[in-house]
Structure 1
Amino acid sequence: MSRSAMDDVDLGLVQALRVDGRAQFRTIAEVLEVSENTVARRYRRLRAEAGLRVIGSLDSTRLGRVQWTIRLSCTPDAAGAVAKALAAREDTHYVHLLSAGTEVSCTVSTGGVDEQALLLHKLPRTSRIVAMSAHLLLSTFRVPDTGPEPTVLTDEQIAVLRPDPIDIDVAAPPLHDGDRAMLRALNRDGRAPYAELAAATGWSESTVRRRLELLRRTGILRIGLDIPAAALGFGVEARLWMRVEPGAAVAVGSALAAHREISFAALTTGATNLVAAVVCRDTVDLSRYLTERLPELSGIIALETAPVIRTVKRAGTPQL
């Protein structure tokens, strides 16, 4: 399904689910001024034809965990197998094949900085991995998403859909086995009904509802929309690694986060201290972004670009 095949109802539904992936179809229908049956039918079609998925994911930083971005250079015959092995792990997300299929990048969550050595030992062991680097994510300017979103809804419509804000002053509650079971179910389907979540956890539906709302309010649980950028007309994705003057890194990262083309931006350790993901309509747009928009940002010393050849895993289960 292509961007040209979507009408304003489809695009409005996509944008509504970006605002709140668990918004009731009745509420979305009222905002879009269509029937609830129409919203449900369009949702099923976008899932089947455009690859749209709503995903519940854990924000491990709220639980004191840290994240690393990993780069692996492989021989051409090994990169695909390495990417699949990484995608199968529960502690990885955003696994990409890059640079003509000879490089793999991913994000890994660990319990702390001191677990880096353990992390590296757990990576796939093969002589066909010729180089590897790990960069600690220090702060995030824009959390990962699928890039530019439709702009069909008005501010007033968005306000109706917007969930309660995250309350960072509320301490993150400890996770129980039931929470983990619920998170696994939501990772498969972020819109899983309460009855299904109750069956997965062994809790009552009312307990599931209260616990889900608490995890969302404290920022532990994120309900996000996952849809291939190509389905929205953005056919070219790339990872950017930038070496930026230390005193300018925060300003550059904040500016990147405001760029429509940027779907992720973070400050990292390492020789390149900013990592970002860019989503463009085609190679012409990517060229224009790299040569016209980025040079406007003062403080960038060096830039490395790696096109995304294939996404093996996003925030949820592997795209195998």
Structure 2
Amino acid sequence: MTSKDDDRHPSPSTPLTKPSCGPCAAPRASYAEGAAATGAHERTVARRVERMLGTGRIRFTASLLHEYIGTGVAAQLAIRCAPGHLHDTARALARRPDTYSVEVATGPAAVFVELTVPDHRELLSVVDGPIAGLAGVVGVETQLLLTLLLTANDWAPYDDEPTAVRRAVSQGTPLPAPLPTDELDEQLVALLKEDARMSTTRLARELRVGETTARRRLSRLMGSHVLHLRLHAEPEVLGFPIEARFRLAVPQRGLDATLRALGREPEVPSLALASGRYNVLDYSSHRSMEELHDFSSRAFGAADGIATETALLIHSYKRAGATTL
């Protein structure tokens, strides 16, 4: 007889439900906290999460968001490739340590890349050198990310309330002030990248600081919006197999209203202001093509003077700094 808390070994292709992915959104939460938040039995939560971690369906990632703390130059590249070169180009770009995401999508600019480099001189060197020199690359369009508004930290499709950052964007109020970070913070985040659930005792030992200091530093980072400490999983695993990139050319007079409206859309996990004609970069995730159509009609149908370029994602080679080849 199957116990009431048995999750019956779901197929690897089964999308996660709220009881499954709820605790994953808070990597350092205990299984008891996850069970209380989702209404599932603690053993079910532990068994399901550990199995998905073991099979690679999910993993946790940690990084400091350079766009928020103002270190380095973040850019998005839209790369056009000659026929037959998409796969090899995307793989080569995903192997670069300075790239954060690499995706192949529909449209003339078939490979989209997000990367961070130390300064503008290095950006020119990277784009005009090793990237432009890849076999099959026939064109590169570069946009600087000027203001990062929403990230995957703010995408919680099963939560009832928006994050503080999403609420601020949707209301048009200023984002929280960036948190100053130092070398100890960077070392702590590097340890969390290895193991997001590493105990505070071990963090303190690895950092060679007192446990109180480690706990205070961790709490400070987790209470800010500069630390990306989240579940890493392809959106289809969460039940959102359709992903799209939107590049919007928004007149200045309608920019604030457009950003507020997009901030209210739960399907939008990423939103940024960028240089160039397409001054708003938007990323959306959906359960079906019908939902994508409804979103597009709702978000852009009545917009005045906005030019929209849409690209459907075909395959992700790197996401949140983790390769998914």
What interval of TM-score do these two structures reach, taking the shorter chain for normalisation?
A: 0.7 to 0.9
| Structure 1 residues 197-250: Cα deviation after superposition (integer angstroms, max 9, x where no partner) | 467656565554343333334544221222221123222111111111122123
In structure 2, C-alpha distance between the alignment counterparts of 1:75 and 1:292, rounded to whole Å? 35
Q: 8 Å contact 2:149–2:270 — kept in the other structure?
A: yes
Taking a change above 3 Å as real, the CA distance of residues 200 and 127 of structure 1, as seen in their structure-2 partners, is same
- Distance in 2, Cα, partners of 1:94 & 1:199: 32
The 5 A counterparts of 1:219-238 are 219-238=225-244
Distance 1:170 1:284 in 2: 38
In 2, distance between residues paired with 1:261 and 1:2?
25
TM-score for the superposition, normalised by structure 1: 0.80
Pairing partner for 2:79 from 62, 72, 83: 72
Structure 2 counterpart of 1:31, one-letter code: A
Q: Which residue, 306, 311, 325 being the options, matches 1:306?
A: 311
- 2:111 maps to 1:104: yes
SS in 2 for 1:262: coil
Is it true that 1:317 corresponds to 2:322 in the alignment? Answer: yes
Gaps of 5+ in 1: 160-166
Residues of 2 paired with 1:242 and 1:3: CA distance?
36
- Report the Cα distance in structure 1 between the residues aligned to 2:266 and 2:178, rounded to whole angstroms: 32
> Percent identity of the aligned residues?
25
**Cα distance in structure 2, aligned partners of 1:191 and 1:198:** 13
Shift of 1:73: 0.8
Task: Give me the CA root mean square deviation.
Answer: 3.3
Report deviation, 1:5.
4.4
Give the C-alpha shift of residue 121 in structure 1: 4.0
Q: Which moves more between the two structures, 188-197 or 38-47?
A: 188-197
Q: Per the alignment, do residues 74 and 202 of structure 1 end up closer, same or farther by CA in structure 2, a change over 3 Å counting?
A: farther
Match of 1:187 in 2: 193
Secondary structure (helix, strand or coil) at the match of 2:157 reads coil
Letter in structure 2 aligned against 1:138: L
* Alignment map for 1:254-293 (pairs within 5 Å): 254-293=260-299
Three-state SS of the structure 2 residue aligned to 1:305 is: strand
Whichever residue aligns with residue 89 of structure 1, its letter is R
**Corresponding position of 2:63:** 57
Aligned equivalents of 1:169, 1:53: Cα separation in 2: 29
Map of 2:300 onto structure 1: 294
**2:265 maps to amino acid:** H
Kindly provide the CA deviation profile for residues 167-194 of structure 1, in whole angstroms up to 9, marking residues without a partner as x: 9568513224xx5444334234423344
SS of alignment partner, residue 218 of structure 2: helix
TM-score for both structures, normalised by structure 2: 0.79
Q: Is the 8 A contact 1:75 1:102 kept in 2?
A: no
> Secondary structure of the residue that 2:323 maps to in structure 1?
coil
Alpha carbons 2:15, 2:236 under 8 Å: kept: no
TM superposition shift of 1:62: 1.0
Per-residue displacement from partner, 1:137-159 (whole Å, max 9, x unpaired)? 122332136956124xx66xx99
Post-superposition shift, 1:265?
1.4
User: Which amino acid is 2:309 matched to?
Assistant: E
The answer (yes or no) to whether the contact 1:236–1:279 under 8 Å persists in 2 is yes
